[in-house]
Every structure is written in C-alpha cells, then in structure tokens.
Structure 1
C-alpha cells in the first residue's frame, strides 16, 4: 500500500527538506517500504532513510548509509558547529512524537556520524488510518523529513540561490541575503514550526484549523536581522524565528530597517 503513495511522499519530503530526493520501493522486510536518499548522490554514496509500516498501526524510519558513502560522511564531519547544532535539534524534535534509538551508545544531544556504521531508528505508534494522506503527511513531517533535513544540513545542501548584490550595497545586502536564506531554508522553517507550533505568534491565527490542507501558508519571521547584531553569534531557530500569518509577517516588515517586534505588533493588533 505504501508503494501506491510514492508520488505523494516524494513531494512532501522534497518540500520539507529543500533537497531533490531519490525514491524506490524496498521489499526486504515483512512489509514493503520505501527508500529515500539525496538524488544528487548515487544511492550507494548517500544517507538513506527507509520508511516501513510495522505491525498494524506503526511506521518506522531507519537511517543508514550506502556502502560507498565514506566521502559523504567525511564531508558531514566537516560541518561547522552551527550546522551540527541545527542537525541535532532536527533529530531531537522527532522525540516529541516518536521513539528514537541510535546504534551503539549515542544520544540525542551528542550524536555524531563517525563512519558508515552509524544508524538511527524512529518509530511512530498508534497511527489511525496510517495509509491515508493526512496520516502519511504527518508521518513524513515527524519522521522522514527531520532525519533527511538533518543530513542535508550536515552535508551542506543549500536550497537557496541568491542573486548578486547590487553595487554599493555589499555589506547591507550580504546581511539581508543571509537572513533571507535562513528564513527561506525549509529546514529552519521545519524546526521553527516544530518548536513553536503552526499558529501565528501575534494574532493567534491557526491555518490548519481555518483552512484544512493549507497549513503551509504560515510563514516564519526572523525576529532580529543579523545586521542589527553587535557581535556574531550562532544562529538558533528556536529563538531567532517565529511563525507568523502572511498578514502579520507583512505588517512586521512595514517598519525599516528593523521590523516591528512581536510585542509591538501584538499591541497594535489588540488595540
């Protein structure tokens, strides 16, 4: 039954990770599953997530590496501290709705990919109508996407292509470009929404309730532009990004160069 949903699952995972994803059926287990990997790499060189139904009401996602992924793992081990932090936070977010296990003695807070023996398993239980689109979309968002998004962060997969900055505005344009890249990075969006929920933090608008099936209209907002920081610091979606509805997000940016703060917007919204 899972094989019949390949196109649906592929679309969900590509949108959630910002990466082109390869997919194929896997019939090696008790129930047929799907393998997903980065399409810009041969499957044998990529991290691979296998999604498989288990029992009557569970899904299990298992991360492994292809037999020839040593170069990919080497590149992941060169990830900087900020990328490692985001990758770990993405995997840790899975534990809110599923059971996460690592091979060996690794933990959610300190895991590191040293070689091809690394693996992690996430299992979501008590899923009602697990092959229906809503249940599958939730499973992708809560299991498959965070795992592959974490791997994409470590690998350095950048889904954003920025236009060249205009002459004479290099410093400011660079700061704006970095902020825009982080705002639009689907992996940051994913983590921000996992942390803060999908309700607007100013007006409390909930798109999932108001427009079922259109929850993606919620936007993420960078609270403090990098250009306003006195000193560089690590980027943290848990404090740097918040969900806003399209109206509140546009309202925030009517003030320049610094946007209205969430508190200022709330005061205007509730007056």
Structure 2
C-alpha cells in the first residue's frame, strides 16, 4: 500500500528538503518499502532513506549510504561547523516523535559520518490508519524529511528564492520582459526546524492555521527577526532564536513598517490595545 503513495511522498520530501528526490520500491521485506535518495546522485553514491512499514502500526525510516558513496561522504565531512550544527539539530528533532538510534551509539549532539557504514534508524509507533494520506505525509515530515534534510545540509544544497520583481512596468498586459533581480538564499531546513521547535502557531496572534483551514492546509510563514534584506553578507540563522512562525496576516502586518519591520512585541501590543 505504501507503493501507491509515491507521488505524495516525493512531493512532501522535496518541499521539506529543498532537493530533488528519486524513489523506488523495495520489495525485499515482508511489506513493500520506499527508498529515497538525491536525484543528482546515483543511488549507489547517495545517502538513502528507506521508509518501511513494520508491525501493525509502525513505520521505520533507516538512513544508510550507497556502496560507492565514499566521495559523497568526503564532501559531507567538509561541511562547516554551522552546517553540522543544523544537521544535528534536524536529526535531534526526530526524537520528539520517534525512537532514534544512531550508528555506534553516537548521540544526537556529537554524531559524525565517519564512513559508509554510518546509519540512523528512526521508528514511530502507534500510527492509526498508517496508509492514509495524512498519516503518510506526517510520517514523512517526522521521520524522512529531517534525516534527509540533515544530509542535504551537509552535502551543500542551498535553494534560492527570487526577491520581489523590480518596479519596472510592462508596456502592455501580458508583455514579456527581462528583469534582473537580486536573489538571497532561504534555507528550507531552517523553516523545517523553526516549525518543529516553535510549532505551527502564530507567535503574535496565536492563530493555528491548520485548525482553522483544515484540508486547505496549515498556512504558516516563517519570519526572520532580522530581515534578510537588511543583512549584509549571508550568515547562518539559528531557527530557535532567529526565526518565528507567523500567520500570513501578522507576517504582512509586521512588514508594513519599512525598512525595519515591527517587532512581534510591538505588533502584539497593538492587538491588545483594541
């Protein structure tokens, strides 16, 4: 049944990691599993996460490396201290919802990928209706995405978002124009950790969009307390202290003051003054 969820799994994992993902069925066990790896690497050269149903209400996600991943591992070992810190925080976040085991008894605070035998195993139990879309998506978010996102951080994926378009107007509706824009990196792994640390609840008005909109999705945004547009050189962000989740209304409201947005406390005081 998990094989029928491949499109859902790929979408969730690509959005969560910021990396293109390949996947395939693994029929080597009693129940069909799904293997996932980075699309720009051959499977044998990539870190691989295998998501497997176990027991009656359990899923296991196991990270391992392909047989010829030595060059990939060497590149990951060159990651900066900040990248390693974020990767460890991503893996540590799994422990809030699953049993976590890291190779050779290493801990979430000090693990390193020393060779191709490195593994991480996360098991989540007590999953009701585990093959429903919502359950599969939640399992991906809690087990697969943080682990693969940690590997993406070490490997060096950095997706880029374009800034707002320039003020130049097209001469006619629908006209095609070439615009050169400044682009600044926004790391989806920071967003992932921010929401796992703070929860998907607005830190100004306390709205929980997921409860309000239901099937329409949890509409939550991540706000940089120091705006990216005001920063000079790119710098690492600590999701615990530099980022907060906001509902779209509050996020828009804090940016009505420019160039320095309203602080959460300032905007919150405006709400309480009504």
Q: Is TM > 0.5 for Structure 1 vs Structure 2?
A: yes
For residue 129 of structure 2, what is the aligned residue in structure 1?
129
| DSSP-derived class of the 1:266 partner | helix
Give, in angstroms, the shift of residue 213 of structure 1.
2.7
How many angstroms apart in 1 are the aligned matches of 2:97 and 2:123?
9
| Aligned residues of 1:93 and 1:194 also touching (Cα < 8 A) | yes
Picking from 241, 266, 269, the partner of 2:268 is 266
Structure 2: gaps spanning 5 or more residues:
167-181
| DSSP-derived class of the 1:203 partner | coil
For residue 249 of structure 1, what is the aligned residue in structure 2?
251
For residue 204 of structure 1, what is the aligned residue in structure 2?
206
Provide the aligned C-alpha RMSD in A: 2.2
| Aligned residues of 1:45 and 1:65 also touching (Cα < 8 A) | yes
**Number of residue pairs matched by the alignment:** 258
Q: Which has the higher helix share?
A: 1
Structure 1: gaps spanning 5 or more residues:
167-175
For residue 157 of structure 1, what is the aligned residue in structure 2?
157
For residues 191-234 of structure 1, what are the alpha-carbon distances to aligned partners after superposition, in whole Å with 9 as ceiling and x for unaligned?
A: 10000000100011111100113334200000123676899975
The 1:223/1:177 distance shift into structure 2, 3 A limit, reads farther
Matches within 5 A, 1:88-237: 88-160=88-160, 162=162, 178=184, 181-182=185-186, 185-225=187-227, 234-237=236-239
How many angstroms apart in 1 are the aligned matches of 2:258 and 2:269?
18
Give, in angstroms, the shift of residue 240 of structure 1.
0.5
For residues 96-126 of structure 1, what are the alpha-carbon distances to aligned partners after superposition, in whole Å with 9 as ceiling and x for unaligned?
A: 0000001212111101111101001000000
How many angstroms apart in 2 are the aligned matches of 1:19 and 1:267?
40
How many angstroms apart in 2 are the aligned matches of 1:70 and 1:257?
47
For residues 129-149 of structure 1, what are the alpha-carbon distances to aligned partners after superposition, in whole Å with 9 as ceiling and x for unaligned?
A: 000011111100000000111
How many angstroms apart in 1 are the aligned matches of 2:233 and 2:191?
24
The 1:188/1:230 distance shift into structure 2, 3 A limit, reads closer
Give, in angstroms, the shift of residue 235 of structure 1.
2.3
| DSSP-derived class of the 1:238 partner | coil
The 1:216/1:177 distance shift into structure 2, 3 A limit, reads farther
Q: Which moved more, 1:103-112 or 1:233-242?
A: 233-242
The 1:232/1:14 distance shift into structure 2, 3 A limit, reads closer
Q: Say which one has the larger Rg.
A: 2
How many angstroms apart in 1 are the aligned matches of 2:12 and 2:2?
14
| Aligned residues of 2:220 and 2:247 also touching (Cα < 8 A) | yes
Give, in angstroms, the shift of residue 244 of structure 1.
0.3
| Aligned residues of 1:207 and 1:214 also touching (Cα < 8 A) | no
How many angstroms apart in 2 are the aligned matches of 1:254 and 1:224?
15
| DSSP-derived class of the 1:139 partner | helix
| Aligned residues of 2:219 and 2:248 also touching (Cα < 8 A) | yes
How many angstroms apart in 1 are the aligned matches of 2:3 and 2:231?
49
